[in-house]
Amino acid sequence: MQKLKIEGGGRLSGELEIQGAKNSVLPLLSACVLVNGEVRLKRCPSLSDVYSAMRILSSLGCKCRRSAAGEVYIDTRGLESTAVSDSLMRQMRSSIIFLGALLGRAGECTLSFPGGCELGPRPIDLHLSALRQLGAKITEEHGALICRSANGLRGTQIDLSFPSVGATENIMLAAVCAKGETVISNAAREPEICDLADFLNLCGAKIRGAGSQRIVVEGVPRENLHGCEFEVMPDRIAAVTYMCAAAATGGEVSLHGARMGDIEAVVNLLRQAGCRICACGDGVCLAANGRLKAVRTVRTQPYPGFPTDAQAIVMACMAKARGTGIFVEEIFENRFRHVDELTRMGADIKTEGRVAVVSGVERLYGASVSAPDLRGGAALCVAAAAAEGVSEIANVELIDRGYESIEKALCALGAKAERE
Ligand code: UD1
């Protein structure tokens, strides 16, 4: 098992190129299933979840390869299977996104039911109910989801009771080649939804309204969907992670490729905490101004609200702030598992249900900790960089699901970090 060893205490400063977004590239890879031709995805991050999605595509009969320059080529013309094995489904929870794409491509698929994950139960009731409204027959047998659409999918009006990111993506994928028009109300508005719509439209789909609460998908014949070349959007949570690493250590960073518009909720909060942040050149720059000030309440919300994926990371950065702040987690049930680990490093954090009260301490200390999940692990890296002494972070594989090489990025900012 690999560990990260991080010696904290120095100011993290410098420049970084932001990797392609994990949460965009995964739906894009499944969207390739709908296309007749070759897709070339640029700025495709080298992440274990990306390799899991590529293994799924290969298992379906598609050709998939990644160049050293970070480009991925996918040719789905040879797709011959519509079943994703249980072991491949288990490697990555977002494999559920293949459901809409395979239904749209072949009118059928068999996937195993994705279980819970580190963040607690991850139901897919909204996905299933929406696909049924589009005309899919879905049955569950021995933990497998068997999906058919004998007469093809038909566009309809779908009102989501919650703007689920994955459900919105699955509906878009299934609706692209459905007969007629699909209208999604209360759709997720995350930037990754816009990236998926831009990609599909470039391939010949007709999707309007992505980024708003109402998305309209006008079905097109599948023969109309052709290959394309597309650049994956920059990863907004990776950008936030390195901003927080600089903010927590009193440093300065320039993040090339980061987009201010995608991270406004976090930028506003870090500004209130005393950081100077501006759009500069092709990215975003942050300069910390001594010890951060606590910010009263951080409440996670669907986009454009404060992202749940940034909650742990910002909490780590606020652990040393002056004053007391409150974090309320509204999206996932089980998303404070980093708190016990931060406490081992000297943080003063109390949780009750979905609320965490963070009383800033003057010093954090290096400790042996374990990444509880992807973003919780990134939060520990931020805390370790801001702590005195050496920290050892176990369970690095969870962090590798979303960061190309977090230790290399931290070293590029002047940290002493290595993998053992
Ligand atoms: C995506 C992101 C994840 C992020 C999350 C919220 C990807 C690959 N992952 O996950 O990093 O943390 O958005 O921004 O893009 N829910 C239901 N029923 C459903 C679907 C969701 O109850 O059918 C609930 C979930 O349990 C959760 C909430 O809705 O409490 C948000 O989930 P959702 O927006 O679907 O997140 P994901 O797409 O899984």
With beta carbons less than 8 A apart as the criterion, state whether 246 and 409 touch.
no
Active site residues: 117
Cβ within 8 Å of residue 9, ≥6 positions away: 387, 388, 389
Query: Which atom belonging to ligand 1 lies closest to the Cα atom of 26?
Result: 8
pLDDT of 147: 94
Distance, first Cα to last Cα, the chain: 9
Distance 367 CA to ligand 1 centre (A): 32
Whether residue 119 is predicted with pLDDT greater than 70 in this model: the reply is no
pLDDT of 68: 85
DSSP secondary-structure letter at 232? P
* Selection from 89, 87, 63 nearest residue 74 by Cα: 63
User: If you search the block for the tokens 């709908």, which residue do you land on?
Assistant: 34
Task: Among 22, 113, 162, say which to mutate for ligand 1: greatest number of ligand atoms within 8 Å of CB.
Answer: 162
With beta carbons less than 8 A apart as the criterion, state whether 298 and 272 touch.
no
Whole-angstrom distance, CA of residue 39 vs CA of residue 63: 10
Closest CA to ligand 1's atom 4: 309
pLDDT of 42: 97
Cβ within 8 Å of residue 87, ≥6 positions away: none
pLDDT of 255: 98
What average pLDDT does this structure show over 17-36?
96
Distance 168 CA to ligand 1 centre (A): 10
* Selection from 120, 85, 84, 87 nearest residue 99 by Cα: 84
pLDDT of 121: 63
> How do residues 121-159 score in pLDDT, each as one tens digit?
678 999 999 999 999 999 988 888 999 998 899 999 999
Task: Among 23, 28, 165, 334, say which to mutate for ligand 1: greatest number of ligand atoms within 8 Å of CB.
Answer: 165
DSSP string, 102-165: HHHHHSEEEEEPP--BTTB----HHHHHHHHHTT-EEEEETTEEEEE-TT--B--EEE-SS--H
Distance 292 CA to ligand 1 centre (A): 31
Whether residue 91 is predicted with pLDDT greater than 90 in this model: the reply is no
Query: Which atom belonging to ligand 1 lies closest to the Cα atom of 309?
Result: 12
Distance 23 CA to ligand 1 centre (A): 11
With beta carbons less than 8 A apart as the criterion, state whether 33 and 60 touch.
yes
Whether residue 118 is predicted with pLDDT greater than 80 in this model: the reply is no
pLDDT of 391: 98
pLDDT of 183: 98
Cβ within 8 Å of residue 135, ≥6 positions away: 149, 151, 152, 153, 154, 156, 178
With beta carbons less than 8 A apart as the criterion, state whether 253 and 18 touch.
no
pLDDT of 112: 85
pLDDT of 120: 62
Closest CA to ligand 1's atom 29: 164
Closest CA to ligand 1's atom 38: 166
Query: Which atom belonging to ligand 1 lies closest to the Cα atom of 127?
Result: 23
Whole-angstrom distance, CA of residue 293 vs CA of residue 275: 9
Distance 165 CA to ligand 1 centre (A): 6
What average pLDDT does this structure show over 234-261?
98
Task: Among 26, 96, 331, 403, say which to mutate for ligand 1: greatest number of ligand atoms within 8 Å of CB.
Answer: 331
What average pLDDT does this structure show over 77-81?
93
Pocket of ligand 1 (CB under 6 A): 23, 26, 94, 122-127, 162, 164-167, 192, 308-309, 331-332
What average pLDDT does this structure show over 287-293?
94
With beta carbons less than 8 A apart as the criterion, state whether 111 and 98 touch.
yes
Q: Where are the beta strands (DSSP E) in 186-302?
A: 206-208, 214-218, 229-231, 252-256, 276-280, 283-287, 297-299
pTM of the model: 0.96
Whether residue 30 is predicted with pLDDT greater than 80 in this model: the reply is yes
What average pLDDT does this structure show over 339-364?
97
* Selection from 27, 74, 38 nearest residue 207 by Cα: 27
Query: Which atom belonging to ligand 1 lies closest to the Cα atom of 190?
Result: 14
What average pLDDT does this structure show over 193-206?
98
Whole-angstrom distance, CA of residue 328 vs CA of residue 20: 28
DSSP string, 397-411: HHHHTT-S-HHHHHH
Whether residue 338 is predicted with pLDDT greater than 90 in this model: the reply is yes
Give 275 or 143, the one with higher predicted confidence.
275
At residue 115 the predicted structure's pLDDT band, cuts being 50, 70 and 90, is low
Closest CA to ligand 1's atom 8: 23
Distance 123 CA to ligand 1 centre (A): 9
| Mean pLDDT for the chain overall | 95
Query: Which atom belonging to ligand 1 lies closest to the Cα atom of 166?
Result: 38
Whole-angstrom distance, CA of residue 287 vs CA of residue 395: 31
Whether residue 251 is predicted with pLDDT greater than 70 in this model: the reply is yes
Whole-angstrom distance, CA of residue 375 vs CA of residue 313: 7
At residue 178 the predicted structure's pLDDT band, cuts being 50, 70 and 90, is very high
Helix or strand or coil: residue 414?
coil
